[in-house]
Amino acid sequence: MAKVWVDEASCIGCEACVDELPDVFQMKDGKATVVNPEGASLDEIKEVAEACPTESIKVEE
């Protein structure tokens, strides 16, 4: 299983990941956080990670 996390130091809280995958990401204190890494397919999570404007979403296989 892949490890998915958000680098909160670089996250700008744009909510793009939350909008795309609300079952995986949620906002906490103005930053995105992973609440359920199994809430979407790995391909979907990678796609959202690539779209993150600050490259704050990390995926380690």
pLDDT of residue 21: 99
Q: Going from the N-terminus, what domains does the chain have, and what CATH number goes with each?
A: 3-60 (3.30.70.20)
Residue 59 contacts by C-beta under 8 Å, 6 or more apart in sequence?
Answer: 2, 3, 4, 42, 45, 46, 49
pLDDT of residue 1: 79
Report pTM.
0.94
Angle at 39 between CA 36 and CA 43, to 5 degrees: 115
> Which residues is 26 bridged to in the sheet?
33
- Give the whole-angstrom CA distance, residue 46 versus residue 51: 9
Torsion angle, alpha carbons of 13, 16, 17, 20, to 10: 150
pLDDT of residue 35: 98
Per-residue pLDDT tens digits of the chain, which is 61 residues long: 799 999 999 999 999 999 999 999 999 999 999 999 999 999 999 999 999 999 999 999 9
